[in-house]
Amino acid sequence: MLETAKSTFQLSAEGLAEVKKELARYEIKDSAIIPALYVAQKENKGFITTAVIHHLGQVMDIPVSKINEVFKFYTMFNQVPVGKHHVQVCTNISCALEGGRELTNHICHELGVKLGEVTADGRFSVSRVECLGSCGTAPMMQVNTKYYESLTPESAMNILRGMK
């Protein structure tokens, strides 16, 4: 936390424009907090820091405590650095029944990381997540924005190995 606080953050011109657009899009500007956090997260290597919160507070003219509340409430905003490919494996009930947890273990083992860690080359991070609405095609994983379904440990690793 302390380390990240020292860092600085500033939205790019495009990012700022996008945030401004979102600010004008809804009935109240608070509704733009989630979209703005998405924009900022994308520009800050996939996670949010205190510096990001302060910058957004300034840009959006919303108390930082309110932005921080939103940031810490939703799981899609990362509080720690993630890999270039953020692998999220579902371990909720339907996936657990079909081997979601074994899949998580296998991926962690193959990539040589624990849950929440980033591989040494920065390419991958693995986390277990709750139901992603892909229960009929369990087990599954989400890598960044994309779903990969009906996986076996081998097929999952093949997919991951194919990522640059």
Residues lying near other proteins in the complex (CB under 8 A): 1, 5, 25-35, 37-38, 50, 53-54, 57, 63-70, 72-77, 91-94, 96-98, 101-102, 105, 114-115, 130-138, 142, 145-147
* Nearest residue (CB) to other proteins, 16 versus 131: 131
| Helix 33-43 vs helix 50-60: crossing angle, to nearest 10 | 130
In the block, which residue shows the tokens 């081998």? 154
Q: Hey, which bits of 21-118 come out as E strands?
A: 85-90
In whole angstroms, the minimum distance from the beta carbon of 114 to other proteins comes to: 7
Q: Which of 105, 114, 107, 112 is nearest to 143 (CA)?
A: 107
Cα dihedral across residues 114, 119, 125, 126: positive or negative: negative
In whole angstroms, the minimum distance from the beta carbon of 162 to other proteins comes to: 20
* Nearest residue (CB) to other proteins, 13 versus 130: 130
C-alpha 25/C-alpha 13 separation (Å) is 18
* Nearest residue (CB) to other proteins, 13 versus 61: 61
* Nearest residue (CB) to other proteins, 81 versus 116: 116
